[in-house]
Structure 1
């Protein structure tokens, strides 16, 4: 158990995307794209047919071969074009809760807020400021990649 007085820092990252919340959510709603933008996820093995409805799972592989781990992420909450909350599994190392909040901006863009915190397993108990910094940096890169995919997707949609 963590010692009394220790304050856990949740990795919170924000990014503004020049696309509407529905365009951003369209990418989040396509579970097959997660290995393209979630740093550390190297392969999506399967996506439940009803993704991203609550209870749906995407099955992924994380980490380099031969050390890669197979696990699943489960939707905990979802509001179309506004919120996606997941339990991301990485057993035997643990699991984290990841929340993506989409806020529409007056200029037509979207502010994405990504919060991630460990909730179970050994990673929860070894977490420290360094881990938070690494998680924070990883999520900055994940949102940069998500931005690129959203912009590429919205450009394709405009061309058709």
Structure 2
């Protein structure tokens, strides 16, 4: 499992508002090219984001499903990446002051060829991408007007 952390200079509520907006995922999830649809119940357990992965014109339609959610605290996702496999992604939000939050992004590849790689190699592959995703999430959460 790979873990990446970033302190974001805003509250867990503002960060979770971005996570609860399924249409925003292509803006911060590295590799997501387009959101095709978001279930009306998002981010309830079992709800899905239908997305495209990869660069045009070689894009793959797939989906991500909520496994667990605690508003303003965590969201855990089944992220399908056909034909590569599937990963469990967990984002946890922990306030460290009135105006900053540590966000931890954990990712575990659970199926597909990359699952056969040792954890250390998986982490080397995932950490830079997940760090960039957290930086993008930070930019949106800090700078977007509250809904």
> What TM-score does the superposition give when structure 2 sets the normalisation length?
0.94
Structure 2 residue aligned with 1:63, among 47, 54, 61?
Answer: 54
Structure 2 residue aligned with 1:20, among 11, 34, 43?
Answer: 11
SS at match of 2:97: coil
Q: CA RMSD in A?
A: 1.5
Shift of 1:134: 2.1
Greater strand proportion? 2
User: Aligned partners of 1:97 and 1:57: how far apart in 2?
Assistant: 14
Unaligned runs of 5+ in 2: none
Structure 1 residue aligned with 2:115, among 124, 149, 155?
Answer: 124
The runs of 4+ residues in structure 1 deviating greater than 6 Å are none
Shift of 1:104: 1.0
SS at match of 1:67: coil
**What is the CA deviation profile of residues 45-93 of structure 1, one whole-angstrom value per residue up to 9, with x for unaligned ones?**
1000000000000011111123221110000000000010000001122
Contact 2:89 2:108 in 1 (8 A): yes
**What does residue range 5-154 of structure 1 map to in structure 2 within 5 Å?**
10-126=1-117, 129-153=120-144
Unaligned runs of 5+ in 1: 1-9
> What TM-score does the superposition give when structure 1 sets the normalisation length?
0.87
User: Aligned partners of 1:152 and 1:118: how far apart in 2?
Assistant: 31
The count of corresponding residues between Structure 1 and Structure 2 is: 147
SS at match of 1:105: strand
